[in-house]
Amino acid sequence: MSNYTDELVDFDEALDRYDPVLGFEVHVELNTKTKMFSDAPNAFGDDPNTNVTPVDLGLPGVLPVVNKTAVEYSILIGLALNCQIAEKCGFARKNYFYPDTPKNFQTSQYDDPIAYDGYLDIELEDGEVFRVEIERAHMEEDAGKLTHMGGAAGRIQGADYSLVDYNRAGVPLVEIVTKPIVGAGKRAPELARAYVAAVREIVKNLGVSDAKMERGNVRCDANVSLMPKDADKFGTRTETKNVNSLRAVEHAVRFEIERHAAVLDSGAKIVQETRHWHEDTRSTTSGRPKSDADDYRYFPEPDLVPIVTTAQWVEELRSRLPEPPAERRKRLKAEWGYADKEFRDVVNAGVLDEIEATVAAGASAAVARKWWMGEIARLAKAADKDIADLGVTPATIVELNSLIEGKKINDKIARQVLEFVIAGEGTPSEIVEKRSLAVVNDDDALGKAVDDAMAAMPDVVEKIKGGKMQAIGALMGPVMKATRGQADAGRVREIVMEKLGL
Amino acid sequence: MNELIKLSGAELAAKLRAGEVTSVEAVQAHLDRIAEVDGALNAFLHVNAEEALAVAAEVDAIRAAGGAEAEALHPLAGVPIAIKDLIVTKGQPTTAASKMLEGWMSPYDATVIEKIRAAKLPMLGKTNLDEFAMGSSTEHSAYGVTRNPWNLNRIPGGSGGGSAAAVASYEAPLALGTDTGGSIRQPGAVTGTVGVKPTYGAVSRYGAIAMASSLDQIGPVSRTVLDSAYLQELIGGHDPKDSTSLPKDLEGLVAAAEAGATGDLKGLRVGVIKELTGEGYQEGVQARFNESLELLKAAGAEIVEVSCPNFKYALGAYYLIMPSEVSSNLAKFDGVRYGNRVLPEEGPMTIERVMGTTRAAGFGDEVKRRIILGTYALSAGYYDAYYGSAQKVRTLIQRDFDAAFEQADVLVSPTSPTVAFELGANDNDPLAMYLNDVATIPANLAGVPGITVPGGLSENLPVGIQFLAPAFEDARLYRAGAALETLLEKQWGHSLISQAPAINTASIAQEA
């Protein structure tokens, strides 16, 4: 029944003939303390089936109770996506039999989502802004997790049996659905990636989700269709499920465009179906047929009463909204005066917060960037840790920098001091003191060290006198040794020249 | 027969408080009665003797010790109670009278069970019902029919036939039932007992295995109106685990029953629902109903006729909404997590086939009939015509009630159009069985409370009189119900239940 084909059409060629239409359903797992409809902990990584109550297991007789925090988080997401917030909305039951869904229905929102009619302005790499219209953002519960045993690569096909973990069952989700996105043309894959990245960033910035795609906190279903350049009707779409990294979103959209074009070019029709994304081969395979008439027998959830959102409540939540990430970036870039590339590198390194805090603590934007993008990034990479987990505070940077500017230490020693800070030895000043790392620029002490070195190397002195200035370098070794590396090399040079009257 | 079992819950409670009897004696007397007659009746699916006696002994010890703890005991402490087996209980099996849950032990207690435990009422056991509460005769239990104590060849009503028969036969003074379309009131009517469906949300549904969530309500079953008032006050109140439970407790139920028992109804406007009399109601039922109206009038009530024109659509709407919710509520019974799992005997062992085989084997015909009906009613393309229209009817029925309660403080009707029918009479005609609930269903669709009280006999079988009140006004039911109970008993010179014939335990034993 599937029109499976290995054929692909070159991307640029495909888009010479067809216009792509995209649509995304992004599922965001909220990081509330408890689940959507029960007081079981909402936690990741615990032993299977430990974060469950009778409600999460769908035992006979149980009833759901809506988590108010989840509703507030959903409203925050709606507001951040420039949506309208429903004054009254409710839940519905989506009926289907599957063992990861303990009641054999999912409690979801159907025809009255809590947020609707929004938009998000997506800035592409070159600064072009593309507006994505948001159809709706609605609340629902996550399903449990199935693990298929005995088959190949954890697939259900050929498995002997399956295990189910209901820890995730009932975790609050917000599903964000776009309107059809037209006009992206060859930038469709790039836009897809940027859109999902923007949603992830927004929910992270709101603090309502851990937003880790690798943990499934943010999951994307990507819909793609093609229509001939001169057509005015959308083509048949496919829905590639669970594309779970930004790179995969970009690749999946690209792949489907190339595949659709090949199918259409051959004169065949696209089958409306779900597709599975395979990271290893960077391709999709046919899933199950999907039609708009899939019958989930939705009806209003009779165990729950409607949610009423007062204007006062919504405005109170609106006042809690942080600055939107895109606006904040624009503002910070201007304030810091970074070049485009410098700023992009900072964003990509994920140290915007750290630099902002460091500048707020008194360092210059240039100094903050030097440290966070330089030594700290290097140490984080070496330790295989997130920069944020190294334990370096903005105060550390400010203190290190003032030690350098006060000529107490040089750059090289400052880098050592930083390592000692990370090792937990104390503040930079304490470490400099304790380890006697202050730069020796006391002329008496230096002068003596220089005298000793010159006395020990008369031939070198002769060379310098003869105009071979680079020979001064030979004196550095003994001087540094005598001062345990804390001599200021520039000052040593000056003293030598003074002593020789040069 | 030990005379202790003839006492009402309130009378027994008074004797316990006075130290005239112990709770252990009372519980043992009821356990003895169960041992004596339940072979014939099959009202109990599980008898919880050990735990009931332990709770009774605990109450007795507290009373014997005296002091603050004894003072703090609930008025009904030590009075035994039976529980419809649709309500989950720790330590006792919960089956919903279905093969699907045979042997299943709930790891948690329903909210009403928590309250009963806290008040220290010994639980005698779990009572029989139509499977998952679907039926009006208790013939659709997977564990055998329950028989009517008045006539063992008759049905005890349903779905709560077990609780009603247990109370009617003195196996228990009190019981819990659930009422989705009449499952407390219709069994009450045909067994000559009292049953109340409280206002929707007045009693937490948490732990009552859902049949139709928007209609289900737990309520009291007893032999006197006062007992039901005590029991509703005990089990009622807001529950944070049930989003549909009322925010405020309903108060003054016992006081209303006591006030009603004076037999004075001056100033009470009683509305006779035109659509719930006449055609379709047995002559004897209609006669007892008319006699009750005369008594109410004599006691000072003003009788008015009200019309609820949309009630004629109630049964149709109910049989769309209820099965729709059933089809979804019962989806969880699939053999994956708990209960019976039945594997296909041949063919591939896929999850869909295991679920299908389990459900085919685990559910009885009436349950399957309703699941199929509901699945159809919710299907794309039919939803608006069936479920959607039924919800509109529901609104119209609520408006009918609103208009009727403009004219009357309570409404009155026969509880059931007929007395108990013979076992097996409607085996091949589910629609005839459904018609038994024609008078009780409107209250569930509108969420208003209803009570049935014994109204006399027809063909030597009990007739029930139903009162309905506006939402949250359950107290009015207890006042009107207690008044009619008092007036009738005064007229007869005895209670109706005292006229029930002795149960012939031998006849059934021989049949079996």
The residue segments making up the domain with residue A376 are: 325-434
Same domain, A282 and A429: no
Q: Complex ipTM, two decimals?
A: 0.96
Give the one of B214, B242, B378 whose C-beta lies nearest to A63's C-beta: B242
- Whether the pLDDT of residue B77 is over 80: the answer is yes
Confidence at residue B46, expressed as pLDDT on a 0 to 100 scale = 98
Question: Can you tell me whether residue B196 is helix, strand or coil?
Answer: strand
Report pLDDT digits (tens) over B217-245: 999 999 999 999 999 999 999 999 999 99
What is the average per-residue pLDDT within B90-95? 98
Distance, in Å, from the CA atom of B365 to the CA atom of B134, rounded to the nearest integer, reads 10
Same domain, A423 and A331: yes
A61, B379: Cβ pair inside 8 Å?
A: no
Confidence at residue A463, expressed as pLDDT on a 0 to 100 scale = 87
Share above pLDDT 90 across residues of chain B, in percent, rounded to a whole number: 94
Q: How far is CA B177 from CA A431, B197, B220, B437, in A?
A: 76, 9, 6, 16
B208, A58: Cβ pair inside 8 Å?
A: no
Catalytic residue among B23, B106, B163, B183: B183
Return the H-helix or E-strand segment holding B434: helix B430-434
Catalytic residue among B136, B159, B228, B327: B159
Question: Can you tell me whether residue A288 is helix, strand or coil?
Answer: strand
- B334 Cβ under 8 Å from any chain A Cβ: yes
Same domain, A173 and A86: yes
- What does the block give as tokens for A428? 């930079």
B332, A302: Cβ pair inside 8 Å?
A: no
Q: Among A385, A402, A434, which residue terminates a domain?
A: A434
Same domain, A357 and A333: yes
* Burial class of residue A275, CB neighbours in 10 A (0-12, 13-18, 19+): buried
Same domain, A492 and A353: no
A58, B337: Cβ pair inside 8 Å?
A: yes
Distance, in Å, from the CA atom of B220 to the CA atom of B196, rounded to the nearest integer, reads 6
B337, A102: Cβ pair inside 8 Å?
A: yes
- B108 Cβ under 8 Å from any chain A Cβ: yes
**Cα of A61 to nearest chain B Cα, Å:** 4
What is the average per-residue pLDDT within B33-62? 98
A5 domain residue, yes or no: no
CA A4 distance to own-chain centroid: 34
Same domain, A167 and A240: yes
A75 domain residue, yes or no: yes
Q: What is the pTM of this model?
A: 0.88
- Whether the pLDDT of residue B292 is over 50: the answer is yes
A57 domain residue, yes or no: yes
Confidence at residue B412, expressed as pLDDT on a 0 to 100 scale = 98
**Positions in chain A whose pLDDT score sits under 50:** 1-4
- A302 Cβ under 8 Å from any chain B Cβ: yes
**Cα of B361 to nearest chain A Cα, Å:** 17
A3 domain residue, yes or no: no
Confidence at residue A385, expressed as pLDDT on a 0 to 100 scale = 83
A475 domain residue, yes or no: yes
Same domain, A125 and A46: yes
| Residue B159 falls in the annotated catalytic set | yes
Provide the β-strand partners of residue B26. Answer: none
List B residues 379-398 in contact with A (Cβ-Cβ < 8 A): 379-380, 383, 387
B88, A61: Cβ pair inside 8 Å?
A: yes
Task: Indicate which CATH number applies to the domain containing A455.
Answer: 1.10.10
Same domain, A16 and A59: yes
Same domain, A362 and A480: no
Longest dimension (CA), chain B: 72
Question: Can you tell me whether residue A454 is helix, strand or coil?
Answer: helix
A2 domain residue, yes or no: no
- B352 Cβ under 8 Å from any chain A Cβ: yes
- B85 Cβ under 8 Å from any chain A Cβ: no
Q: Among A263, A292, A317, which residue terminates a domain?
A: A317
Q: Among A434, A455, A488, which residue terminates a domain?
A: A434
Same domain, A282 and A349: no
Same domain, A235 and A273: yes
B324 contacts on A by Cβ (under 8 Å): 299
A90 domain residue, yes or no: yes
B243, A60: Cβ pair inside 8 Å?
A: no
- B104 Cβ under 8 Å from any chain A Cβ: yes
Instruction: Determine the residue of chain B that is closest to A299 in CA distance.
Output: B378
Confidence at residue B430, expressed as pLDDT on a 0 to 100 scale = 82
What is the average per-residue pLDDT within B24-46? 98
Confidence at residue A478, expressed as pLDDT on a 0 to 100 scale = 86
Instruction: Determine the residue of chain A that is closest to B101 in CA distance.
Output: A60
Helices B365-378 and B314-329 meet at what angle, rounded to 10?
100
How many folded domains does chain A comprise?
3
- Whether the pLDDT of residue B512 is over 70: the answer is no
Confidence at residue A153, expressed as pLDDT on a 0 to 100 scale = 64
Yes or no: say if B82 and B127 are a contact pair by the CB < 8 Å rule. Answer: yes
List A residues 141-160 in contact with B (Cβ-Cβ < 8 A): none
Same domain, A354 and A410: yes
B353 confidence band (pLDDT: 50, 70, 90)? very high
A4 domain residue, yes or no: no
